[in-house]
């Protein structure tokens, strides 16, 4: 939908509360912009969009959306709802040319013209996606394997992609895949998170690697090679002496893109999804102690 709107000459602004996600379709760059909201309030959004405030902040933002024919897509709205509710309700009454589209894990308590509940992928498109992911990983996409991955994940795309990575990298045998406990209800966020956590631990079985990801999960923003080396040094992991190329080739590459992703323009790594980051964070035994040791978290995250 966002791609179609950008093709129709709307300026699409995708605003995220989390770094690291990638837009997966080919987009006309002049019409499609992406930004991460560092300050989760309307003032932070206005700063991100570069809007000059001449009246109230909310009125200035609404006028800008209308005058510029902007589609504002706010992802992870469940994290922002309390700070944005009044603005969205006001925009609902006033917007004429601009549009606001929000995505939330729960039903947002705001005014809206259209509500659509997104459920799991149906069997046929999900199995096709799984086959494509296996092919991209140069793994022969056997129909039986694709069907089992679908059955285990119940069509939840992130879970399916992460299971594909286990199978294609031979970290999980077909017999192990068949025994892997399934998601029972994809509408149950707690159950989905628990499944993602189990898949994460299968991906990161090495205790040294798991410790690194635990520390990385404390960071609010992404990380670069220098931050990674600092964490490795704190953990007394000899890999802190490795150069950038070796760190990527012999360490990070085995976790890309299902655990971590890389922003080539900004040269920053991040977790591929906030639920993956939460899975790593859940393994931190003593958060305060870890933050004190972490080279950036105590200073940047409070």
Q: How far apart are CA 234 and CA 1, in angstroms?
A: 45
Q: Is residue 279 domain-resident?
A: yes
Q: Which of 203, 228, 258 is the last residue of a domain?
A: 203
Task: Indicate the average pLDDT of the chain.
Answer: 85
What residues contact residue 229 under an 8 Å CB cut-off, 6+ apart? 240, 242, 247
Q: Is residue 115 domain-resident?
A: no
Q: How far apart are CA 229 and CA 226, in angstroms?
A: 5
Query: Do 196 and 220 have their domain in common?
Result: no
Query: Do 174 and 256 have their domain in common?
Result: no
**How many helices (H) does the chain have, and how many strands (E)?**
15, 6
Closest CA to 203 of 176, 236, 175: 176
Write the CA distances from 22 to 34, 40, 125, 205, 261, integer angstroms.
Answer: 10, 20, 20, 26, 8
Q: The whole model's pTM is what?
A: 0.67
Q: How far apart are CA 204 and CA 299, in angstroms?
A: 27
What is the per-residue pLDDT across 196-223, written as a single tens digit (0 to 9) for each?
Answer: 999 999 889 899 999 999 999 998 778 9
Q: How far apart are CA 188 and CA 96, in angstroms?
A: 36
Average pLDDT, integer, range 29-35? 79
Predicted pLDDT at 299: 44
What is the per-residue pLDDT across 67-98, written as a single tens digit (0 to 9) for each?
Answer: 999 999 998 888 888 889 999 999 999 999 99
Predicted pLDDT at 256: 87
Query: Do 213 and 291 have their domain in common?
Result: yes
CB atoms within 10 A of CB 228: 23
Domain ranges, residue 163: 123-203
What residues contact residue 143 under an 8 Å CB cut-off, 6+ apart? 127
Helix, strand, coil percentages for the chain (3-state, nearest 5): 50, 10, 40
Q: How far apart are CA 269 and CA 8, in angstroms?
A: 33
Q: Is residue 113 domain-resident?
A: no
Q: In this predicted structure, which of 41-55, 109-123, 175-189, 190-204 has the lowest mean pLDDT?
A: 109-123
What is the per-residue pLDDT across 138-174, written as a single tens digit (0 to 9) for each?
Answer: 887 678 899 999 999 988 888 898 899 889 888 888 8
Confidence of residue 296 (pLDDT cuts 50, 70, 90): low
Predicted pLDDT at 286: 64
- Domain count of the chain? 3
Query: Do 224 and 281 have their domain in common?
Result: yes
Query: Do 20 and 76 have their domain in common?
Result: yes
CB atoms within 10 A of CB 65: 24
Q: Is residue 108 domain-resident?
A: no
Partners of 12 in beta bridges? 32, 71
Q: Which of 136, 170, 203 is the last residue of a domain?
A: 203
Query: Do 96 and 129 have their domain in common?
Result: no
Q: Which of 147, 176, 203 is the last residue of a domain?
A: 203
Query: Do 12 and 98 have their domain in common?
Result: yes
Q: Is residue 144 domain-resident?
A: yes
Q: Is residue 232 domain-resident?
A: yes
Q: How far apart are CA 206 and CA 84, in angstroms?
A: 41
Query: Do 278 and 220 have their domain in common?
Result: yes
Query: Do 91 and 11 have their domain in common?
Result: yes
CB atoms within 10 A of CB 301: 12
Q: How far apart are CA 47 and CA 36, in angstroms?
A: 11
What is the per-residue pLDDT across 96-132, written as a single tens digit (0 to 9) for each?
Answer: 999 999 988 777 889 888 888 776 678 888 898 898 8
Taking 90 as the threshold, does the pLDDT of residue 295 lie above it? Answer: no
Predicted pLDDT at 233: 94
Q: Is residue 287 domain-resident?
A: yes
Strand order in 32-36's β-sheet?
A: 32-36, 11-16, 70-74, 99-102
Query: Do 97 and 25 have their domain in common?
Result: yes
Q: Is residue 171 domain-resident?
A: yes
Q: How far apart are CA 204 and CA 199, in angstroms?
A: 9
């Amino acid at each position: 939908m966002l791609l179609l709107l950008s093709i129709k000459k709307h300026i699409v602004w995708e605003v995220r509360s989390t770094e690291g996600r990638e837009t997966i379709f080919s987009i006309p760059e002049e019409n499609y912009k992406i930004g991460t909201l560092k300050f989760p309030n309307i003032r932070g959004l206005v700063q991100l969009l570069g809007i000059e405030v001449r009246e109230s902040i909310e009125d200035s933002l609404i006028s800008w959306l209308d005058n510029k024919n902007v589609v504002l897509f706010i992802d992870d709205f469940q994290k922002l709802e309390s700070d944005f509710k009044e603005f969205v309700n006001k925009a609902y009454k006033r917007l004429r040319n601009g549009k606001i589209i929000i995505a939330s894990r729960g039903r947002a308590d705001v005014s809206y013209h259209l509500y659509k509940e997104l459920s799991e992928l149906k069997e046929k498109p999900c199995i096709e996606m799984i086959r494509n992911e296996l092919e991209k990983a140069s793994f022969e996409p056997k129909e039986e394997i694709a069907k089992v991955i679908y059955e285990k994940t119940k069509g939840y795309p992130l879970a399916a992609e992460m299971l594909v990575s286990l199978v294609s990298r031979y970290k999980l045998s077909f017999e192990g895949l068949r025994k892997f406990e399934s998601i029972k209800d994809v509408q149950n966020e707690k159950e989905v998170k628990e499944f993602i956590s189990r898949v994460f631990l299968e991906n990161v079985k090495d205790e040294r690697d798991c410790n690194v990801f635990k520390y990385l999960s404390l960071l609010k923003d992404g990380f670069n090679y220098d931050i990674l080396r600092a964490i490795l040094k704190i953990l007394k992991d000899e890999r802190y002496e490795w150069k950038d190329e070796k760190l990527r080739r012999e360490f990070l590459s085995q976790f890309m893109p299902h655990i971590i992703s890389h922003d080539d323009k900004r040269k920053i790594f991040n977790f591929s999804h906030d639920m993956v980051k939460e899975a790593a964070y859940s393994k931190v035994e003593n958060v305060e102690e870890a933050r004190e040791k972490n080279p950036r978290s105590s200073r940047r995250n409070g």
